[in-house]
Amino acid sequence: MLAIHPDTQAALESFERTPSHAVALIGSPGLGKTLLAREMARQVLGITDTVLTNYPYFRTIVPQDGTISIAQIREIRSFFTLTIPSHVKHSIARVLLVEDADTMTREAQNAFLKLLEEPPEDAVCVLTLAKPQRLLATMRSRLQKIQVHKPRLEDVLKSFQPLNREQLEVERALMLSGGNISAAYNLLTDTTATTTDASVELVKSTLSADTFTRLTMIDGLISDRSAAVRYVDTLILVTQASLHQAVGSDVARIKRWYQVLRAAQQAQVALAQKGNLKLVFTELMLSL
């Protein structure tokens, strides 16, 4: 069961009654926007979630190496010209989901705008994003917007009940993830626990090391771009959790964690912009 804020739930139900051709789910990372988008698609298409996974008239675009390119948008054009079989009687016959739409390049956004200007009558585009200001104003103006609010804690705890974990364990995972529900879920599931724990331990080891030692660790941290991105993402989560725990402690400690968080966020932006891994991590390690 996905935890949903009542205001978000009301907006989703309104959309499902009278769907527009393009809607953006806007909210912080980890609130389950992709799951909500899939549920919206299932509802407007009138099919089950099991069918949705391999449904020929449901497509998804996701970032590749941190961005959505114009080539990805061009590839999807044929999706909007597919002939819909006569037995598909639903008024909405096809749905395109664009995850993390705010990572579209400017060229990709301009190409996507052409799709939005003349959308097929039977199509709906659902976008998920955290930073709408990264979209062109002309693109934002063509999107219906639904704000995905952070759900109430009691609803979040209920959503974790199927995992059969103790409440304190769930609360610890939420704290470690900085309130990111998706990350907390990963921390609590066996399939990713080993990888997640290893990432956390690696972050802790660099934070406790001296500057020289951190610099010697750079080559290992940037063995590939995905590993580098994973390290920075984990560093941000650990730092956010540490800041939460530092509330009420001495000012120097809080300033220290803010410094780490600022450095990690700058590294995250640089990686998204395809910055040189060696330079990004050298600056990051010197700032910790």
Q: Is the pLDDT of residue 57 over 70?
A: yes
* pLDDT confidence band for 6 (50 / 70 / 90): very high
Domain count, the chain: 2
- Is residue 221 a contact partner of residue 227, using CB atoms and an 8 Å limit? yes
Considering the domain architecture, whether residues 13 and 88 belong to the same structural domain is answered as: yes
Considering the domain architecture, whether residues 273 and 242 belong to the same structural domain is answered as: yes
Residue that wins the pLDDT comparison between 195 and 3: 3
Domain annotation covers residue 153 = no
Considering the domain architecture, whether residues 176 and 260 belong to the same structural domain is answered as: yes
- Nearest-10 crossing angle of helices 167-176, 181-188: 120
CATH number, domain of 31, equals 3.40.50.300
Instruction: Write the CB contacts of 279 (distance below 8 Å, at least 6 apart in sequence).
Output: none
DSSP 124: E
pLDDT digits (tens, 9 = 90+) for 255-264: 888 899 999 9
Strand order in the sheet with 144-147: 58-61, 94-98, 123-129, 22-26, 144-147
Beta strands in 134-181 (DSSP E): 144-147
Domain boundary among 82, 113, 147: 147
- pLDDT of the residue at 167: 83
- pLDDT of the residue at 110: 95
Considering the domain architecture, whether residues 104 and 60 belong to the same structural domain is answered as: yes
- Pairing label, strands 58-61, 123-129: unpaired
Domain boundary among 147, 169, 185: 147
Considering the domain architecture, whether residues 63 and 116 belong to the same structural domain is answered as: yes
Beta bridge partner(s), residue 97: 60, 126
Q: What is the residue-averaged pLDDT of the chain?
A: 85
Residue type, 22: A
Taking the C-alpha atoms of residue 211 and residue 213, their distance in angstroms, rounded to an integer, is 5
- pLDDT of the residue at 248: 64
Domain annotation covers residue 190 = yes
- pLDDT of the residue at 264: 92
- pLDDT of the residue at 193: 45
Cα Rg of the chain (Å, integer): 21
Domain that holds residue 227: 160-287
- pLDDT of the residue at 89: 67
Residue that wins the pLDDT comparison between 110 and 28: 110
Structure tokens of 271?
């990686």
Instruction: Write the CB contacts of 175 (distance below 8 Å, at least 6 apart in sequence).
Output: 241, 244, 245
Taking the C-alpha atoms of residue 182 and residue 2, their distance in angstroms, rounded to an integer, is 10
Q: Is the pLDDT of residue 95 over 90?
A: yes
CA of 256: how far to CAs of 129, 203, 231, in Å? 30, 15, 19
* pLDDT confidence band for 176 (50 / 70 / 90): low
